[in-house]
Structure 1
Amino acid sequence: MAPRALVLGSSGGIGAALVAELTKTHEIKGLSRSVDGFDITDEDSVNAHLSRLEGPFARVVVATGALEIGGAAPEKSLRDLSPQGLLDQFALNAMGPALVLRHAQRLLPKDTPCVFAVLSARVGSIGDNRLGGWYSYRAAKAAVNQIVHTAAIEISRTHKQAAVIALHPGTVATPFTAKYLGRHPAVAPAEAAANLVRVMDGVTAAQTGGFFDWAGKEVPW
């Protein structure tokens, strides 16, 4: 029997590509807002959808996220910062994955290797920040990195073979990034998904709590 994988945000650019890539080796369950009404920012929705599922899942991937929410683009300066924009970014990119971790922990196997991965972004790295700007998005991704790292410590006490990690997929050519690519090189979603699955296949419980890029290299906090 094939191992099972759960992809949250399965209709997005990277999420759909992850479903296609994981289908090669896993039995897939996908949830998304547009198809299933799965709202990662609403705990009732997260609980309702995840409580219907029975584990174990060898892979759980949170592939939700957005650069722009409600028309609020990434800030170029402090003058562009707004309370609502900051709250919206935290709700989707930090609180949402935290809610999934809370409700999906029971879906992980306790006695076999498994991976719980959250898509983060290199711009969430404080140590790597040399350009500034993008306050809300950077802060939300830094927050989700802390959430993942902290959850990994707790989950390791009951799931000895689990790797709970944050992943930077690289710059991927999707509607998510279309307005911001410019001349910046980007990879197709299928290539990004293959890279991410390769990283997930290679991590071990000894690396739980880590932040890795698409090539499996650690990203500074």
Structure 2
Amino acid sequence: MAEAVSTPARLAVVVGGAGGVGGALARALAGNPSYDRVIVLSRRLPADWPATDAQDRMVWMPADILDEDSLAAAAVRIAALGAPTLILIATGILHGEGLAPEKTLRAVTAEALSRVFLVNAVGPALVAKHLLPLTPRDQPSVLAALSARVGSIGDNRLGGWYGYRASKAALNMLIHTMAIEHRRTRPLGVCVALHPGTVDTALSAPFQTAVPDGRLFTAEQSAAALLAVVDSLGLEANGGFFAWDGAPIPW
């Protein structure tokens, strides 16, 4: 009798799964039969984490995007479970204690710029450093990081928001650069930046009054749209920047 050949588990990884969009992405993927397991990385256990999961489809791992030791440890655990074919980086910062988008150049400070660049650009780059090598060499895979339309230099008509704009533009360049390198060893791999739209989360809460009717999405709506874009990506999309509806965004 021939011995059965085991098939590697199909993994999706969501980094930032304790956030609004990240949590919605993880929940949507948990119901997607294309993946055997969804690995969720965040600094703390998501508040709505299921108490029980009979199918063991969701696995939480502690990790901080600015702590390489924690990312390396998570990478070892993920590799033991299988090879991820989808990596979603849903982290970011716009405002917080002592931090707000700058309306004028006079408001720019080294401290604020450093903080947003660390979270919005450096962190995702470190995630990719540790997780991209886990993707399969002979199968399609996608790494997608949540960027923002305001990170587009070509689409910048209003000015302001110096730190957030510049940090997301830096993220876009990092994604485009890693996409070129990644393709050399994973010809079926795709790395992209995605704009999730304006989502009704804590990140956008102070800035929702000017959002046009019908353009403020729930986290679930944004997650569904983003996953539809991911599913539609071809090899030609590698290194690209796309909105929630799949439309390309100028750099």
TM-score (norm 1): 0.96
User: Residues of 1 paired with 2:31 and 2:153: CA distance?
Assistant: 36
Contact 1:89 1:137 in 2 (8 A): yes
- Look up the match of 2:136: 109
Greater Cα radius of gyration, structure 1 or 2 = 2
User: Residues of 1 paired with 2:195 and 2:16: CA distance?
Assistant: 16
User: Residues of 2 paired with 1:63 and 1:155: CA distance?
Assistant: 20
**Match status 1:52 vs 2:77:** yes
Cα offset, 1:49, TM superposition: 2.1
Q: Percent identity?
A: 46
SS of the equivalent of 2:83 reads: coil
Higher RCO (C-alpha under 8 Å, 6+ residues apart): 1
Cα offset, 1:79, TM superposition: 1.2
**Which amino acid is the alignment partner of residue 73 of structure 2?**
A
**Which amino acid is the alignment partner of residue 219 of structure 2?**
P
**Match status 1:159 vs 2:189:** no
SS of the equivalent of 2:242 reads: strand
- Look up the match of 1:34: 44
Cα offset, 1:14, TM superposition: 0.1
SS of the equivalent of 1:59 reads: strand
Return the match for 1:5 from 12, 24, 29. 12
- Look up the match of 1:78: 105
- Over 4 Å off, 4+ runs: none
Cα offset, 1:21, TM superposition: 1.2
User: Residues of 1 paired with 2:181 and 2:144: CA distance?
Assistant: 15
User: Residues of 1 paired with 2:204 and 2:180: CA distance?
Assistant: 32
- Look up the match of 1:220: 250
**Match status 1:21 vs 2:34:** no
**Which amino acid is the alignment partner of residue 65 of structure 2?**
I
Contact 1:46 1:103 in 2 (8 A): yes
Q: Where do 5+ consecutive residues of structure 1 fail to align?
A: none
